[in-house]
Structure 1
């Protein structure tokens, strides 16, 4: 593939304000593509993940749409809500949000959870492992939503943490240990579900050891956005199978 002949792509990412993981990891993933693919970020306030009224109010559409409009001014090719709130609030939350973003900006929109939905269905996953830093009140809703969609969570681990900033303080080794525990149930894939959680760096070595695809939220979002922008996600290597899996799902239309 000749990158010099390919039109540069700009990926827009809507980012929780207290997130310190997804920006550096996304940029590191895309670095192999040089100036041909760049990521650009807009923030809105997210500081707690729980079922409290204050936490749920963080996901009202007005501030998200404001951030999306500012991102669109950078003439991005795709806008993604790089967060996992729809995993407990329901897929319709993100479908409606993305429709509003597209209507407001004229830019194609998607999200982390819509990317997961497409990928898991494309892979035919029915038995999933789940690893998050979340509270049980959040995790139980996520599991119930997966179940309603025909995906059984056969094993899960959660850290009972509600502070979004603190999710980034757990190291990759700790997350790998959680994944190892979940892997004992032999799921068809493991979702490390949180865009402020350090699952991405462990994916390749974990998959080599276990043979189980590790689907990290930051990686899933980046791969999905590349495909939507017409670039082949399989050009990204060293971060696990998710980029090749997403490439296969979207087919030859994104081969450049």
Structure 2
């Protein structure tokens, strides 16, 4: 890594209590990299009009512009909303962020799709905390994207704050159940689950890659900012994949 200090800008749901400390822990061993966060209001995950309106581009762009004041090298939406909104929503958002700030942008979901494509995953396992209807929308979007979701588990939760309370045992049980049904790789889709610190242990035990969406945001964000994600050690196979 060069001597240039890299600043990673991260867009954060207002009720999320996981992604910030986990992101900081991931980059803790990189003295020339820092993460900077900007929030916008997200309190529930559902398909109601009010819940979907939380992801209107306008407040997200305002939050991105505040990150631009810190002269960050890349901006990442560390969130999974395009899983149910459709991946084109993230593509449009990133284009608008870059047009408004002049800074390269990506999202957790676009990064996840990049790694699934580049590693040739055909049979995907999916773990989330979301409601039945939200999960169904995510599965449908992945099917249209060409991925066969062969196994899934979800918890039926709606309040975003509550996702952080899902304990390690429950997460491990969900991941283990999905792995047993024949997936090539597992995706943990939600940036307010405490999954990323467990990924290396899951991979060692299950023999499968596990891609957490806090981690995918950091992986692709570092690359856009000019850093090599392989500098991050101990957080799973993702960081050995070339963006």
- TM-score when normalising by structure 2: 0.98
Measure the CA separation in 2 of the matches of 1:66 and 1:221: 20
The count of corresponding residues between Structure 1 and Structure 2 is 243
Q: CA deviation at 1:6?
A: 2.4
Measure the CA separation in 1 of the matches of 2:110 and 2:202: 24
Note the 1:224-235 alignment, pairs <5 A.
224-235=220-231
Note the 1:86-235 alignment, pairs <5 A.
86-235=82-231
SS at structure 2 position matched to 1:187: coil
Aligned with residue 23 of structure 1, among 20, 37, 45:
20
Measure the CA separation in 2 of the matches of 1:106 and 1:232: 21
Measure the CA separation in 2 of the matches of 1:218 and 1:130: 15
Contact 1:172-1:201 within 8 A present in 2 as well: no
Q: CA deviation at 1:229?
A: 1.2
Aligned with residue 50 of structure 1, among 46, 49, 55:
46
Measure the CA separation in 1 of the matches of 2:84 and 2:119: 22
- TM-score when normalising by structure 1: 0.93
Greater displacement, 39-48 / 173-182:
173-182
Q: Any runs of at least 4 consecutive aligned residues in structure 1 with deviations exceeding 4 A, and if so which?
A: none
Match of 1:254 in 2: none
Measure the CA separation in 1 of the matches of 2:179 and 2:67: 38
Measure the CA separation in 1 of the matches of 2:195 and 2:118: 21
Aligned with residue 239 of structure 1, among 229, 235, 238:
235
Match of 1:253 in 2: none
For residues 104-127 of structure 1, what are the alpha-carbon distances to aligned partners after superposition, in whole Å with 9 as ceiling and x for unaligned? 111111111110111110011110
Measure the CA separation in 2 of the matches of 1:49 and 1:192: 16
Match of 1:71 in 2: 67
Measure the CA separation in 2 of the matches of 1:155 and 1:78: 34
Measure the CA separation in 2 of the matches of 1:136 and 1:229: 36
CA-atom RMSD in angstroms: 0.9
**Which structure 2 segments of 5+ residues have no match?**
none
* Higher helix content, 1 or 2: 1
SS at structure 1 position matched to 2:4: coil
For residues 150-208 of structure 1, what are the alpha-carbon distances to aligned partners after superposition, in whole Å with 9 as ceiling and x for unaligned? 10100000000000000000112211110000011121100000000111011111111
Greater relative contact order (Cα 8 A, min sep 6): structure 1 or 2?
2
For residues 7-39 of structure 1, what are the alpha-carbon distances to aligned partners after superposition, in whole Å with 9 as ceiling and x for unaligned? 1100000000000000000000000002x0000
**Which structure 1 segments of 5+ residues have no match?**
251-256
Measure the CA separation in 2 of the matches of 1:132 and 1:185: 16
